Amino acid sequence: MKTIKGPALFLAQFAGDDAPFNSWDAITKWAADCGYKGVQVPSWDARMIDLDQAATSKGYCEDWAGQARANGVEVTELSTHLQGQLVAVHPAYDDVFDGFAAESVRGNPKARQAWAVDQVKKALTASKHLGIGAHATFSGALAWPYVYPWPQRPAGLVEQAFDELAKRWLPILDHAEDCGVDVCYEIHPGEDLHDGITYEMFLERTGNHARANMLYDPSHYVLQCLDYLDNIDIYRDRIRMFHVKDAEFNPTGRQGVYGGYQSWVNRAGRFRSLGDGQVDFGAVFSKMAANDFDGWAVVEWECAIKHPEDGAREGAQFVKDHIIRVTERAFDDFADGGADTALNAKMMGI
């Protein structure tokens, strides 16, 4: 068993134009002041990191990570959630997702995809320069508009979508192998990899690629009514990253999983700050420890009600209280009689 590292904080929901959230120096000091030991970094945000420099200069990476370390936090992972989304975009979402890309490729899906692939590869190279072994991203989606089987899907549509998705990701996964970095897909609605079955469909098409791994976030499973504890045991060998995020699902006679097009605050299923939802984190942390997860417990704050700064400070303490310092010996070692082959044989009558 291993003791999980943490707490860490995903900075994507906090980076902004106002101090202390508008510069790398200030936000890392703030995170440390909140009680965090690490930060997960959105690579698309130029206020946080210069991705081009990070991909080409190990010296830049050392100085950049060193500044965070001097401020009291480690860089735990880089994220390309937004760029990964653009590796595969169904045309229905072209306009919505264009804002995730550089202005030079907007309105040009082919150029946008090439840009996204390059971005993810750069982030993987930067991770190598930083000595980080895991990377967070989204898979993107080609089949998501057809997730509900009505109208009836044409035969082979889903299979073809996953064939294409794997084709687009394989060169990235091979680059990840060259870098010695795991690609951790956040299993998330809106992505073609949104549950265990879809992840397995993708994994099969990548030839069970060693670098095609998972980012575990129980909140997304609560909202799908999926067994988030069983999921840890099923994918224990593939879970390489952990977002600590809470959620609640309170169906009524008027709405359920689909939410009735309501805003987040009015949905039956919604994300909550840590401790305010329904996730059994005692059980989650126990399973992660028992399954030898040796990564970081990273708080991802998303809540429709609570102020983010309150959620961040409370989240740091919440994770501290849930991290299990694993035992190095069995509780009944005091009664250990030692190894005795002859005695063992006698006890078995042999």
Vertex 162, ends 105 and 142: CA angle to 5°?
Answer: 40
Contact 164, 143 (CB under 8 A): no
The predicted pLDDT at position 330 comes to: 65
- pLDDT of 297: 98
Tens of pLDDT along 11-39?
Answer: 999 999 999 999 999 999 999 999 999 99
Q: How high is the pLDDT of residue 327? A: 80
| pLDDT per residue as tens digits for the range 238-280 | 999 999 999 999 999 999 999 999 999 999 999 999 999 999 9
Residue 317 CB coordination number (10 Å):
14
Identify the pLDDT of residue 289: 96
* pLDDT, tens digit (0-9, with 9 covering 90-100), for 155-211: 999 999 999 999 999 999 999 999 999 999 999 999 999 999 999 999 999 999 999
Q: How confident is the model at residue 331 (pLDDT cuts 50, 70, 90)?
A: low
State pTM to two decimals: 0.95
**For residue 334, pLDDT beyond 60:** no
- Where do the domains of the chain lie? 5-348
The closest of 240, 145, 117 to 187, measured between CA atoms, is 240
Tokens coding 92: 């229905």
- Give the whole-number percent of the chain exceeding pLDDT 90: 92
pLDDT at 339 over 90: no
Query: Within 10 Å of residue 48's Cβ, how many Cβ atoms?
Result: 24
> Residue 343 has what pLDDT?
83
**Terminal-to-terminal C-alpha distance of the chain:** 34
CATH of 5-348, one of 3.40.50.360, 3.20.20.150, 3.30.530.20, 3.40.1410.10: 3.20.20.150
DSSP 252-278: -SS--TTGGG--GGGSSEEEE-TTSSS
**Burial label, 260 (beta-carbon count in 10 A; 0-12, 13-18, 19+):** exposed
